[in-house]
Structure 1
Amino acid sequence: MKIAVLSGKGGTGKTLVSVNLAAVAREAIYMDCDVEEPNGHLFFRPKNIKTEKVSVRIPYADETLCNGCRKCLDFCKFNALAFIINKPIVFDDVCHSCGGCVLLCPQKALSEREKIIGEVQRGVSENVAVITGILNTGETSGIPVIKKLLNDVPAEADLIFIDCPPGSACIVIESIKDADYCILVAEPTLFGVHNLNMVHELIRLFDKPHGVVLNKCLEGENPAEKFCMEKGIQILARIPFDKELGKLNSDALIAARENQRYRELFFSLLQTVTKEVGYETVTNP
């Protein structure tokens, strides 16, 4: 079962929730798809790390074969090709690696080469297999790295937690498309409601079963809670605005491994989510 954890912006508590859920499971895979700024590994501190590079195929132009027909330029909708001083130029940074220009070139002047854009790291932290996607600085799209993460999941994997990128862009869509359940993490502010509404609309487009975790809860009115009640969205758990939790998190410690109260909270959340999709998890809080 794949459980995706997402939020409308960074800093809401998405990694806090996904890391602690994986920690309280009997066995789990934690998959960090926030490839631009992955930080789950800072909490897990995985051992026996193995690294695999991720590459995409980029067109390469042979000037000696090109006759200047410019069919490749007309085809490319991303303006990744140009013809300057009778020479074909490829702009790697905006190429989407579709391969269409190579297939279309009548002179076979275009071929493809591998370009490394990031890597995937795999390690182990107690009961959790930690898989982290890392996009190289300056690359425009993390989708190939996310695809590599999701496509290489072991067939015997039982419980997978996907720490999604923040927001609702293409990389988020790629992260949740095969998820069995989505947890939306929200803050108790009007701005938090705006971001919650954004990801909620995305989840509804994909018709994914979902619920909300309210983080940083204080006494008094909670706009995010009011939004959930008005929209009929299930509130899965409420995490208090707590100094002890904040200190554990800032020290890159997993709260569920350090504090029994939070172990019980996240175990209860895990039980709630797994029962929602008819999956029974067995472990001891």
Structure 2
Amino acid sequence: MKIAVLSGKGGTGKTLVSVNLAAAVKNAIYIDCDVEEPNGYLFFKPHKIVSERVMVQIPVVDENKCSGCRTCIDFCKFNALAYINNKLVVFDEICHSCGGCILFCPESALLEKTKMVGQVEYGTSEAVTVITGRLNIGEASGIPIIKKLLHYANNENKITFIDSPPGSACTVMESIKDVDYCILVAEPTLFGVHNLNMVYDLVKLFHKPHGVVLNKCVDEENPAEQFCREKNIKILGEIPFDHELGMMNSNALIAVRTSETYKNLFTSLLQTVIEEVQNETIVNP
């Protein structure tokens, strides 16, 4: 069972929900796909960490063969190549490693070289397997790292929680494309509704079953809750705007392992999510 947790922006509570649900399961897999700024490991503090480099192939020019035809430049949609002072230049930082320029070069003047774009780290925290991706500073895309991360999400015997990047860009699409269910985390503000709507449109586009967790709830009107009612979106649970929870978060403590109150809250939320996934499987086997 693979469950992705999304939010329209950072700071909404996506990692809070992901980490605590994984800890509530105990024997689970937690994958941090927010490779530009991973922080789930700060809570889990995993042991026995093993690192693996993530490599991609990028083009390199054989100047003796290049005729300056610019076929490769016309092909590249990321503007990673340019012909400057009668010389073909490759900008490694914005190359997306698609390999198309090499295939289309009529002179076979482009070869491949290997480049490290980041790394994947594996560790354990109690019975939770913690897998973290880290993108090197300045790299254009975290998708190669996310693909590497999701290779480890195919364990049939464990529930996997995927802590997606914030927003709805390509990295988010990559992180949710093979999941069974999506949890959308929303704040109780008009801006929170805007960001919720963004990821709601994304999961609908991917035809993913989904529900919403309302975070930072207070005893006032909640625009995010109203949005869910209007769109007939399942509200999976509510997390209060609470000083105790804020202190645990700021100290990188896992609420499920620290507070009986929040252990019960996230265990109940977990059961609701599992039931939703199972019901979806029955309806759409």
Q: Could you list the per-position Cα deviations for residues 119-161 of structure 1 after superposition, in whole angstroms to 9, with x for gaps in the alignment?
A: 1000000010000011111111111111110023354442000
Q: 1:94 to 1:262 in 2, by over 3 A?
A: same
Aligned pairs (5 A) from 1:171-182: 171-182=171-182
Q: 1:216 to 1:197 in 2, by over 3 A?
A: same
Task: Using the TM superposition, name which of 72-81 and 115-124 deviates more.
Answer: 72-81
* Matches of 2:143 and 2:253, distance apart in 1: 29
CA root-mean-square deviation: 1.2
* Matches of 1:75 and 1:154, distance apart in 2: 35
- What residue number does 2:253 align with? 253
- What residue number does 1:283 align with? none
Amino acid at match of 2:190: L
Equivalent residue of 1:278, what SS? Answer: helix
Task: Using the TM superposition, name which of 71-80 and 256-265 deviates more.
Answer: 71-80
Long gaps (5+) in structure 1: 280-285
* Matches of 1:46 and 1:36, distance apart in 2: 19
Aligned pairs (5 A) from 1:1-285: 1-153=1-153, 155-278=155-278
* Matches of 1:118 and 1:97, distance apart in 2: 14
Amino acid at match of 1:252: A
Equivalent residue of 2:237, what SS? Answer: strand
TM-score (ref. length: structure 1): 0.95
Contact 1:29 1:157 in 2 (8 A): no
Long gaps (5+) in structure 2: 280-285
* Matches of 1:15 and 1:128, distance apart in 2: 15
Equivalent residue of 1:152, what SS? Answer: helix
TM-score (ref. length: structure 2): 0.95
How much does 1:71 deviate? Answer: 2.0
Equivalent residue of 2:43, what SS? Answer: helix
Contact 1:119 1:134 in 2 (8 A): yes
Q: Percent identity?
A: 68
Count of residue correspondences: 279
Contact 1:214 1:238 in 2 (8 A): yes
Amino acid at match of 2:265: L
* Matches of 1:129 and 1:36, distance apart in 2: 20
How much does 1:43 deviate? Answer: 0.1
* Matches of 1:98 and 1:58, distance apart in 2: 8
- What residue number does 1:282 align with? none
How much does 1:185 deviate? Answer: 0.5
How much does 1:70 deviate? Answer: 2.4
Contact 2:26 2:126 in 1 (8 A): no
Equivalent residue of 1:122, what SS? Answer: strand
